[in-house]
Structure 1
């Protein structure tokens, strides 16, 4: 009787547990039952082991820190002498990108001693900034004076040359690149690291008894000039404006010519407002601040204000010009030959209510003779000052105006153009959808050809990606030089591939693609990191940590009075918790068919200021991770600041949030699913659904079949329940019951 009952129990057990057995993980067969209690114990053991390893590493590091060799290296780092392949104790292989600028330095030092050339007494040091006369971020080839003297090609940095030393200061984006490119004539000050002296601190130590420090007043912002002068108070150091640019005096061969491209008008269907409306708004804002007029020196502000675009600097549609706006007149200082082809002069004068008396066009160089005369009729002239990435007017502009008439202030245009109008918002949305379609088609092509064993280099991929983007409707070109960085090159935060550094692409490391486009209706900036093979665990963990920071910041809801620097910790926190970080800002503003880097948004926890977000701002979110000599990861989306109108106005202020406008899939191969919570997975699924809907439709419209298939494959649903198996606790009781009945059945 007992045997008969056991048979029935066995059959019932088989029937009940059979569909569940498929869910039982293999590790049950090795008696490692995956229960919450078991997992908790194992996790505790793992954490204790990791903590023990960290303590041991910390102990070893303390021992190293006390060593003489460590102290010697620290001193070299703080003095700028810590340079790759520049040791006097060996003959290391020089980096392939290193540029020899010894002769340029000899010529510059010679001319610094010759008062007949400068029209001044000899100088002891010369400051070379990265700026042009308008303090533009990406200057034209003609204006790359700092690159000519240093060999360093990055967009940011300031050099100082004395008779026996040459020093460059640059930020964390370019520490590795500057070290590789500059010859051993140069000291490298890695700004952002601890105990690195400022330029004024270094000069005071270098010239304790005083000295004459020269600089071109047109190429230094008034903010920088005032800071240096303030730091030199109480010393015998004199900051001297040198009207003759000394780099121009020695750069006489192989210098690119100035750009002289035709100016064109941006139609109101893209700009959203007429130029005259913008001028009236500027007049009102200037008057409200208590000034009679404003001198506009920044090229992006002039382009936005007058609805004109050009090609006088690379990647940004700017026109080299100045604008003076008072209560009744606008004066545009520009190379007038650039206005002829597209009848730009007629465009301005044909506007209703505008005449030659209210809008005047003068030659570009007339600004220097006109400004002192024009300002005689004003009580106060607003002169733009530093505002985040906008450096403000040059020292040369300031000294043309009597000090009692100067009104230094942030340019109102910065805030006017940062808040996109409805037409610009629609344009930015549509531009990002078309841009995403180009990216999907590019990635589909790359993966298909790579599987077919085609060989690509970084520069090959730059060319191909640019071609896909140029093919898009309303494309005007790139918003910056396309970055494709493979393997160890990806560890350089602002690496740009060149012939000498160009790597062949393999399937054993990450590839960073950082690129963007200029369209008539918007500007894009997107970064994706992919892997064409099987990623290593460290690469997956780094990628996922960066993505988590990316998600945390993009999903934030915040009050409108929150300072922009406060949100930076959300992007960095996943890296900080494992002792990692990245040495560049997390975010910058993005213009609408203007500059890809736009003030007033600059998100970095170390940044000063009280800037806040406003609905209509567009900005990037771009956390990263860089393992020197190995690989890099960076992910970047452009988001729009929106008001969350459904939330109550707490304490009288609105709540804001971000809305993703970049719609390019992430690489699912690089996801470490163990690190992703259900919240992160839901976010990815919602994002992928939006990509499929909007970009999928655009790919269908353009009949880009390969890109569409790639898109669908790379936006597949991710299980949102992050448990490693589907075995329930109650099901575990069936397992021993099965073995008992199995034993009885065969008795």
Structure 2
């Protein structure tokens, strides 16, 4: 085995052993954490303007601890997710954001009688610090000694006889619920279902309304398969697993399955819903279902009303044969549960996904329950031919918007005109909305100048807004929703004279970015098995980034899509699937220097079959094809650090930008692209390549391994 391969394997194994549950924690020893550990809460510290005062809210929820049916609870868990386990819940469902003030897309709040804590991953450490008031302990996942939620609660409650931990069973997936219950039971602590969520009881006067937007049919021109064909595929899938029904609980899955889109969730074209698919019956549960069935489409590309699209009557009922029609019913958790019980009473096995909420999961008798990976997620992630063509076309149009904007921004910043993160965010949105088939943004743009760029999931606001200048680096992570695809692209810029250190950091990020894009591998690998390749150029200099390297992306669906992913922190996630043909992923390494600058480079890539020189017998090889076509920042590249192979990839990539995006540009925007895509000569390659000595990384892996075991 080559030293480089052995090194990467050792590094991956070391991190996996340190983090067997995929929580991003690199150390098993816990330390005592307190509010006073936070910089913003030390004596004399001035709280930032983004801090939210939660004192009254915490007092209200604690008052309700004693009113829980069945007996008082001593702690309450508030997840980020809604009843459908959405990564980005609607404003109505931002319960964790309400109680804590921290609104990042990942994190969990826990409230006790005298303490409160928020857990979040490395993307949000800085943002959470600046949002939480001094009622809260910040638990930075991925930092040495930070306890797990269950471990901390056991430590806090172990001396309370009959201690009870409450949570809404609708807002926590069954797998997590079972894990907590098992751990708590060993310590004599009970996990309690609180059906009337405590946050819902206190969040009343200023709560946003529950979203219920018009549902538009997505034409076969963009979907590539009819909903009837997809239903047939799902039936084949659950039948092969011994089931007679599948419960669809994820909003991206109902949108995909029925070829329908709405805007109930900000940036995500979903509608609040459940669905039940049986061998001869399909039911879809919607808010305001009668109105939705008969309302005229709001999208000019949708020609059918929903009841026509689903082949149902205007009241949602079906005439015979039921199998060629979707029954549409009122969205009501109790009604869904009763329908599931009725199916179970007919001695039918029912399949629910691993991330089904605890309330639905517990409705199904254990003997008839199949709790497994989603029946839909894998087929949704492998795009059909129409979706693949749409993804490429939408990314080209998106590149046009981004390039036109960036040419203008760079030109005007260099001319001394005032630009800030907020104005840049707003202006870029206009360019995207001008593009054909655009349906808005795919997420809130991350536009970080200087030190704000070091906040991994930073969102510009009037309170935090910084000017974009020629003195600082500028990180821009943005994307759009289009009828034919979803985009997500990050580029980092410097419009002045960057330091040599900034250039080296950028170049190391670029090297890892290219190394992943160049990789060929035998079919059957998980993303966790290739992630370390991207980090190696950074690791050799001691640089680390605390987020995954690649997430899946949908086709006019979620900007973050499973079940595949490229991340060291998801090594044993039971929903993971191997990387396979026609899946789309981001390739996005980064580096973030606190209070200084941030770097991230993100290109969407598609998995495809590739040829190799000496193919092993009966083995299919896969690789990545770049889909995003936006040039990199030549002002930040130390060309002499790149290998000849990396330079060739970069030159070939930039040639594609010129050939595929260039014809859609003119004037200054075209010249901007030409200036940034000038080929690099391989004569600039250094004779002494800076790739990490294998021994150095091997030692690093050994140290990580040793620290976890001791």
Q: Is the 8 A contact 1:296 1:302 kept in 2?
A: yes
Match of 2:152 among 177, 202, 205: 202
| Superimposed CA distance per residue, residues 56-92 of structure 1 (whole angstroms, 9 cap, x where no aligned partner) | xxxxxxxxxxxxxxxxxx98775565212212xx211
Distance 2:364 2:568 in 1: 36
Please give the secondary structure, in 2, of the residue aligned with 1:436.
helix
Residue in structure 1 matched with residue 601 of structure 2 by the alignment: 635
Distance 1:647 1:130, change over 3 A: same
Shift of 1:355: 4.8
Q: Is the 8 A contact 1:264 1:310 kept in 2?
A: yes
Distance 2:494 2:276 in 1: 51
Please give the secondary structure, in 2, of the residue aligned with 1:374.
helix
Please give the secondary structure, in 2, of the residue aligned with 1:721.
helix
1:322 aligned onto 2:285: no
Residue in structure 2 matched with residue 215 of structure 1 by the alignment: 167
Residue in structure 1 matched with residue 380 of structure 2 by the alignment: 417
Q: Is the 8 A contact 2:40 2:47 kept in 1?
A: yes
Match of 1:160 among 110, 115, 118: 110
| Superimposed CA distance per residue, residues 592-640 of structure 1 (whole angstroms, 9 cap, x where no aligned partner) | 1110100012211232246311110000000000000100100000000
Shift of 1:712: 1.2
Residue in structure 1 matched with residue 176 of structure 2 by the alignment: 224
Residue in structure 2 matched with residue 127 of structure 1 by the alignment: 77
Unaligned runs of 5+ in 1: 1-73, 386-391, 726-747
Distance 1:614 1:192 in 2: 29
Residue in structure 1 matched with residue 629 of structure 2 by the alignment: 663
Distance 1:144 1:671, change over 3 A: same
1:110 aligned onto 2:76: no
Residue in structure 1 matched with residue 676 of structure 2 by the alignment: 714
| Superimposed CA distance per residue, residues 575-603 of structure 1 (whole angstroms, 9 cap, x where no aligned partner) | 10011100000000011111010001221
| Superimposed CA distance per residue, residues 460-515 of structure 1 (whole angstroms, 9 cap, x where no aligned partner) | 00001111011100000111111100000011111111111111111111111000
1:360 aligned onto 2:315: no
Distance 1:443 1:354 in 2: 55
Residue in structure 2 matched with residue 572 of structure 1 by the alignment: 535
Q: Is the 8 A contact 2:413 2:469 kept in 1?
A: no
Q: Is the 8 A contact 2:439 2:480 kept in 1?
A: yes
Residue in structure 1 matched with residue 52 of structure 2 by the alignment: 99
Structure 1 residue ranges, 4+ long, deviating more than 3 angstroms after superposition: 74-81, 353-356, 645-649
Q: Is the 8 A contact 1:648 1:654 kept in 2?
A: no
Please give the secondary structure, in 1, of the residue aligned with 2:47.
coil
| Superimposed CA distance per residue, residues 2-51 of structure 1 (whole angstroms, 9 cap, x where no aligned partner) | xxxxxxxxxxxxxxxxxxxxxxxxxxxxxxxxxxxxxxxxxxxxxxxxxx
Match of 2:585 among 609, 619, 630: 619
Question: TM (normalized to structure 2)?
Answer: 0.87
Distance 1:525 1:168 in 2: 28
Distance 1:196 1:723, change over 3 A: closer
| Superimposed CA distance per residue, residues 672-711 of structure 1 (whole angstroms, 9 cap, x where no aligned partner) | 1221222222221111110000000222xxxx43321211
Please give the secondary structure, in 2, of the residue aligned with 1:399.
helix
Distance 2:366 2:469 in 1: 61
Q: Is the 8 A contact 1:491 1:630 kept in 2?
A: yes
Distance 2:470 2:522 in 1: 45
Residue in structure 2 matched with residue 453 of structure 1 by the alignment: 416
Residue in structure 2 matched with residue 682 of structure 1 by the alignment: 648
Residue in structure 1 matched with residue 218 of structure 2 by the alignment: 266
Question: TM (normalized to structure 1)?
Answer: 0.83
Name the count of aligned residue pairs: 636
Residue in structure 2 matched with residue 601 of structure 1 by the alignment: 564
Distance 1:567 1:238 in 2: 40
Query: Which structure 2 residues correspond to residues 250-649 of structure 1 after superposition, within 5 A?
Result: 250-335=202-287, 336=289, 337-341=291-295, 342=297, 343-349=305-311, 355=320, 357-358=322-323, 359-365=326-332, 366-385=335-354, 392-609=355-572, 611-645=577-611, 649=615
Shift of 1:378: 4.1
Shift of 1:452: 3.0
Please give the secondary structure, in 1, of the residue aligned with 2:351.
strand
Please give the secondary structure, in 2, of the residue aligned with 1:233.
helix
Shift of 1:356: 6.7
Distance 1:483 1:339 in 2: 37
Distance 1:723 1:238 in 2: 63
Q: Is the 8 A contact 2:312 2:327 kept in 1?
A: no
Q: Is the 8 A contact 1:170 1:190 kept in 2?
A: yes
Distance 1:709 1:218, change over 3 A: same
Residue in structure 2 matched with residue 692 of structure 1 by the alignment: 658
Shift of 1:236: 1.5
Shift of 1:653: 1.9
Residue in structure 1 matched with residue 708 of structure 2 by the alignment: none
Distance 2:320 2:617 in 1: 49
How big is the alpha-carbon RMSD for the aligned residues of Structure 1 and Structure 2? 1.8
Please give the secondary structure, in 2, of the residue aligned with 1:500.
coil
Tell which deviates more after alignment, 373-382 or 554-563.
373-382
Unaligned runs of 5+ in 2: 1-28, 298-304, 688-710
Q: Is the 8 A contact 1:80 1:190 kept in 2?
A: no
Q: Which has the higher contact order (CA 8 A, sep 6+)?
A: 2
